[in-house]
Amino acid sequence: MVEFGRVLTAMVTPFNEEGGVDYEAAGKLARRLVENGSDGVVVAGTTGESPTLSDEEKLKLFATVVEAIGGRAVVIAGTGSNNTQKSVELTREAEKTGVDGIMAVAPYYNKPPQEGLYRHYRAIAGATSLPVMVYNVPGRTAVNIAPATM
C-alpha cells in the first residue's frame, strides 16, 4: 500500500500568457513544494482547475510532475468528473504516467444517489491497481458522500 504521508498539497496549475498550461512552471512548482515539506502533491484537483483542462493536458501535467519530483514524494492524479466512463478512462491513462494514486471527485451536476456514487467509485477503483482517494466536496459538487456509502 502506498503511504501518502501527512502533508499533501493541492497544487495549482500554472498557465502561460496565451492561456495554455505552463508545464515548465508546473515542474518547478512541484519541486519547490517537495523541497518545502510536502510529502505529496495533488495534481489537477479543484485547486488545479481540473474542469478547465483537457484530458491531454492533465496527462501531460501528471507526467511532468512525476518526472519533476523523481520519486521524492507521491503524486496524486485528479481524474474524477461527472462522467463515470470518462473518469475510468482517464484513471487508466493516468496510471501509465507513473502517478502514485488517484483522487476522484464526486460526480457533480448529476446529483446521483448514494448507490450511484458507490457504483461510480467502484468502477474507478476497478480500473486501476493504484489507491483511490474519494474527494468529497459537497460545496462544489452539490452531492455529499455518506460515510456508509464507501
Which three-class secondary structure string do you get for the chain? CCCCCCCEEECCCCECCCCCECHHHHHHHHHHHHHCCCCEEEECCCCCCHHHCCHHHHHHHHHHHHHHHCCCCEEEEECCCCCHHHHHHHHHHHHHCCCCEEEEECCCCCCCCHHHHHHHHHHHHHCCCCCEEEECCHHHHCCCCCHHHC
Structural domain count, the chain: 1
pLDDT category at 28 given cuts 50, 70, 90 is very high
What mean pLDDT do residues 58-63 have? Answer: 99
Q: 109 lies in which domain range?
A: 8-149
Residue closest to 80 by CA, chosen among 117, 29, 114, 115: 117
Q: Is residue 2 part of a domain?
A: no
Q: Is residue 46 part of a domain?
A: yes
Residue 87: what pLDDT? 98
Q: Is residue 78 part of a domain?
A: yes
Q: Is residue 3 part of a domain?
A: no
What mean pLDDT do residues 67-78 have? Answer: 97
Question: What's this model's pTM, rounded to 2 decimal places?
Answer: 0.95
Q: Is residue 10 within 8 Å of residue 48, measured between CB atoms?
A: yes
Is the predicted pLDDT of residue 43 greater than 80, yes or no? yes
CATH number reported for the structural domain that contains residue 62 in this entry: 3.20.20.70
Q: Is residue 20 part of a domain?
A: yes
Is the predicted pLDDT of residue 25 greater than 80, yes or no? yes
Q: Is residue 1 part of a domain?
A: no
Mean pLDDT of the chain: 96
Q: For 3-23, how does the pLDDT look when each residue is reduced to its tens digit (9 = 90+)?
A: 899 999 999 999 999 999 999
Is the predicted pLDDT of residue 1 greater than 80, yes or no? no
Residue 101: what pLDDT? 98
Q: Which residues pair with 104 in a beta bridge?
A: 134
Dihedral angle at the C-alpha atoms of 105, 34, 53, 107, nearest 10 degrees?
Answer: 0
Q: For 80-117, how does the pLDDT look when each residue is reduced to its tens digit (9 = 90+)?
A: 999 999 999 999 999 999 999 999 999 988 899 999 99
How much of the chain, in percent, has pLDDT values that exceed 70? 99
Is the predicted pLDDT of residue 71 greater than 90, yes or no? yes
Is the predicted pLDDT of residue 2 greater than 90, yes or no? no
| Secondary structure element (H or E) that encloses residue 122, with its range | helix 114-126
